[in-house]
Amino acid sequence: MTDETADHLPARTDAAASAAAAAAAGGSGGSGENADGDTRRSIGDQSAQVDQAERSAFSRASDALQRHREPSEIWGDEREAVNIALHWAAARATVASDPKTTARSAAELHEAAGETITAGGIGAQRAMDLFDEVLLPATRASEDPMNLAYIPAAPTRAAVAFDTVVSAANVFGGMWENGAGAIFAENQVLRWLSDLLGWPADSAGVFVSGGTTGNLSALATARDHALRTRGRRPEGGWALACASTAHSSIASAARLLDMDLVTVPIDDRGHLTGDVLESTLAADPRICAVVASGGTTNAGIVDDIASVVEVAHRHDVWVHVDGAYGGAALAAPSARGRFAGIDQADSFIVDPHKWLFAPYDCCALLYRDARPAAAAHSQHAAYLDSIDRGESNPADLAAHLSRRTRGLPLWYSLATHGTDAYRDAVERCLASARTVARAIATTEHLELLLEPELSVVVFRRPGWTPEAYRRWSQRLAKDGTILCVPTAFRGEIALRLAFVNPSTDPQAVIDVLRTTMLEADEH
Ligand SMILES: Cc1ncc(COP(=O)(O)O)c(C=O)c1O
């Protein structure tokens, strides 16, 4: 790598990322005398203000990366391609999001980008330029502080940066024998989550791609466990029970697993409770699993997990808690009480890419007792059976075999910042939701539809037609003011705000709601 290349480094970036970029691009840059000794010097010279702690991080990273990779006979010398991509990633990790970026039609994108896949290749610089100038601007900034639609995302910079490290390390995370060190670190994160759940020391889990896959894998385990313990498939096939407020991925799992979905009525405040579940289970012995929401997506409602568990277990029915969005609130003392009874649930998911400040894609799937999961999911083949299964293998606990160690960005961020910072970040989102809800309740032209249980605020603008909601939402999305899209709540059109970004300023949200909704009436 040349000095010119080093000049592209962001003026003051994370030293370890710089080291990784330098080492990957130069293939070396280590602490000893070697062909790329200049690399280390040039970065060191440029970073006069980098403090001692960062310098030692830099040299440790470099020490581990001294073995030079020779140019490949097929791919040639890829250092330029590596350099371009990693420098872009390092710079991108620290820039502010642009709330105005938005989807474009495939035709427009084709017009702007042309054919990018060609026999000879278009070259790294051209591909990167297209990504930066055309493709990425046609995506939505999930982490923008004023993006409060759906469930957005707000990964820490540490987690984002480490995602690049995970790719560079390229660990096969399916089996302990291949990925031991990385899996060990992931397991420490899963242990932290298990402790939040109040689960025993031998509970175990795995990181999968998202809540949909996590729910599917947990429910496949529940169904398999029922078959093994009950001895045969019931007349009419298996069924699973949940409230109508359960996430759409539960219905999808039921379809894929060929299970009937039995909808259990909710109480006045929107919770699935043991009382009503009791009669549902008594009436339908085909039900082998019940799903409780640990924070519904639409309104952030946490089902009455304690009574659900008590009733389900009396009927020998597995309890899965879908905390894809809301499970993060277990880390927050002010919300933990809502999850009473979760210590007795059988399986649980939480998506760190939603509210635990990790980048896509990441779902933690946990089992209080992982043996039924291993029985349901372990794959066997002549070439696999030589694998030592003495340690728990992530591949054995979900519907997958090859896997990226996608829990590591969360591990790095948690290890860097500590669990107290996570508690505080989740609490801040909860506080923002409560502040905005209070302001809505006291604003004449707005109506709060539900006291938030977690960090979703549902409200309406009395008198507005669906078209008025749509116009307001689209206008503010387009000018980058706020992303807040209409939903339906208790049969009425409504608006919802999901607070998962600790950088969101609640006062800025209140100001937007108080001004723009009145202005909209004047248009
Ligand atoms: C409660 C809940 N469960 C499951 C999912 C599905 O998660 P994913 O999008 O990661 O597949 C979501 C997504 O919003 C969710 O909110």
Each residue's pLDDT tens digit, 119-141: 999 999 999 999 999 999 999 98
What confidence tens digit (pLDDT) does each residue in 434-472 have?
A: 999 999 999 999 999 999 999 999 999 999 999 999 999
Which ligand 1 atom is nearest residue 214's CA?
11
Going by pLDDT thresholds of 50, 70 and 90, the confidence category of residue 302 is very high
Contact partners, residue 265, CB within 8 Å, separation at least 6: 243, 276
Is 152 a pocket residue for ligand 1 (Cβ < 6 Å)? no
Contact partners, residue 328, CB within 8 Å, separation at least 6: 350, 352, 354, 355, 356, 426, 500
Lowest mean pLDDT among 40-44, 208-212, 224-228, 350-354: 40-44
Distance between Cα 239 and ligand 1 center (Å): 21
- From the CB of residue 82, how many other CB atoms can be counted at a distance below 10 Å? 21
For position 520, what pLDDT does the model report? 66
Task: Give helix 408-417 / helix 176-197 axis angle, nearest 10°.
Answer: 60
Contact partners, residue 198, CB within 8 Å, separation at least 6: 342, 343
Q: How far, in Å, CA of 173 to CA of 401, rounded?
A: 9
Residue 236 pLDDT > 60: yes
Residue 248 pLDDT > 80: yes
Is 185 a pocket residue for ligand 1 (Cβ < 6 Å)? no
Reported in sequence order, the residue ranges of 194-304 that DSSP labels E, i.e. its strands, are 204-208, 239-243, 260-264, 287-293
Is 322 a pocket residue for ligand 1 (Cβ < 6 Å)? yes
Q: Which of 247, 293, 365 to mutate to test the pocket of ligand 1 (most atoms within 8 A of CB)?
A: 247
Is 363 a pocket residue for ligand 1 (Cβ < 6 Å)? yes
Is 249 a pocket residue for ligand 1 (Cβ < 6 Å)? yes
Instruction: Concatenate the DSSP letters of all residues of 291-317 into one string.
Output: EEEBS-TTT-PBP-HHHHHHHHHHTT-
Q: Whose CA is nearest to atom 2 of ligand 1?
A: 324
Tell me how long the chain is: 523
Average confidence (pLDDT) over 132-151: 95
- From the CB of residue 395, how many other CB atoms can be counted at a distance below 10 Å? 25
Is 297 a pocket residue for ligand 1 (Cβ < 6 Å)? yes
More confident residue, 31 or 438: 438
Which ligand 1 atom is nearest residue 151's CA?
14
For position 383, what pLDDT does the model report? 83
Beta strand 347-350 with 363-367 is antiparallel
Which ligand 1 atom is nearest residue 211's CA?
7
> Which candidate, 14, 16, 24, 15, places its Cα nearest to that of 5?
24
Question: Are residues 199 and 364 in contact, defined by beta-carbon separation less than 8 angstroms?
Answer: no
For position 386, what pLDDT does the model report? 74
Question: Are residues 342 and 310 in contact, defined by beta-carbon separation less than 8 angstroms?
Answer: no
Which ligand 1 atom is nearest residue 293's CA?
1
Is 211 a pocket residue for ligand 1 (Cβ < 6 Å)? yes
Is 324 a pocket residue for ligand 1 (Cβ < 6 Å)? yes
pTM value is: 0.89
Residue 209 pLDDT > 50: yes
Distance between Cα 380 and ligand 1 center (Å): 30
Q: Cβ-count burial of 124 within 10 angstroms (0-12 exposed, 13-18 middle, 19+ buried)?
A: middle
Strand-pairing partners, residue 291, are 242, 320
Q: Which CATH number fits domain 161-417: 3.40.640.10, 3.40.50.2300, 3.30.420.10, 3.40.47.10?
A: 3.40.640.10
- From the CB of residue 508, how many other CB atoms can be counted at a distance below 10 Å? 13
Lowest mean pLDDT among 70-79, 304-313, 489-498: 70-79
Is 21 a pocket residue for ligand 1 (Cβ < 6 Å)? no
* CATH (residue range 423-522): 3.90.1150.10
Going by pLDDT thresholds of 50, 70 and 90, the confidence category of residue 523 is low
Percentage of the chain lying above the pLDDT 90 cut: 81
Is 212 a pocket residue for ligand 1 (Cβ < 6 Å)? yes
Annotated domain spans of the chain: 1-95, 105-139, 161-417, 423-522
What confidence tens digit (pLDDT) does each residue in 374-429 have?
A: 999 999 888 887 777 778 899 999 999 999 999 999 999 999 999 999 999 999 99
Is 209 a pocket residue for ligand 1 (Cβ < 6 Å)? no
Distance between Cα 463 and ligand 1 center (Å): 32
Distance between Cα 211 and ligand 1 center (Å): 5
Q: Which of 248, 325, 406 to mutate to test the pocket of ligand 1 (most atoms within 8 A of CB)?
A: 325
Tokens of 517: 């909704």
The DSSP letter of residue 234 is P
Residue 31 pLDDT > 50: no
For position 59, what pLDDT does the model report? 60
Q: Whose CA is nearest to atom 7 of ligand 1?
A: 211
Is 247 a pocket residue for ligand 1 (Cβ < 6 Å)? yes
Distance between Cα 208 and ligand 1 center (Å): 12
Mean of per-residue pLDDT scores for the chain: 89
Going by pLDDT thresholds of 50, 70 and 90, the confidence category of residue 27 is very low
Helix (H), strand (E) at residue 486: strand 486-489
> Which candidate, 32, 48, 102, 54, places its Cα nearest to that of 479?
102
For position 70, what pLDDT does the model report? 85
Which ligand 1 atom is nearest residue 323's CA?
1
Distance between Cα 266 and ligand 1 center (Å): 20
Q: Which of 249, 303, 322, 406 to mutate to test the pocket of ligand 1 (most atoms within 8 A of CB)?
A: 249
Average confidence (pLDDT) over 313-317: 98
For position 388, what pLDDT does the model report? 72
Distance between Cα 21 and ligand 1 center (Å): 34
* Residue owning tokens 């309104």: 299
Is 351 a pocket residue for ligand 1 (Cβ < 6 Å)? yes
Is 325 a pocket residue for ligand 1 (Cβ < 6 Å)? yes
More confident residue, 429 or 20: 429
Is 151 a pocket residue for ligand 1 (Cβ < 6 Å)? yes
Distance of CA 86 to the CA centre of its chain: 23
More confident residue, 84 or 41: 84
Q: How far, in Å, CA of 102 to CA of 98, rounded?
A: 10
Average confidence (pLDDT) over 208-220: 98
The DSSP letter of residue 286 is T
Percentage of the chain lying above the pLDDT 70 cut: 86
Is 238 a pocket residue for ligand 1 (Cβ < 6 Å)? no
- From the CB of residue 314, how many other CB atoms can be counted at a distance below 10 Å? 11
b/e per residue 253-272 (b: at least 16 CB within 10 A): bbeebebebbebebeeebbb
* Four-point Cα dihedral 400, 405, 411, 412, nearest 10: -160
Going by pLDDT thresholds of 50, 70 and 90, the confidence category of residue 69 is confident
Question: Are residues 219 and 259 in contact, defined by beta-carbon separation less than 8 angstroms?
Answer: yes
Average confidence (pLDDT) over 293-319: 98
Residue 251, CB-side half-sphere exposure with 13 Å CA sphere: 7
Residue 259 pLDDT > 80: yes
Tokens of 148: 């409060």
For position 56, what pLDDT does the model report? 57
For position 5, what pLDDT does the model report? 35
Alpha helices of 103-156 — where are they, by DSSP H?
106-113, 124-130
Write the CA distances from 329 to 67, 100, 149, 416, 426, integer angstroms: 44, 30, 19, 20, 6
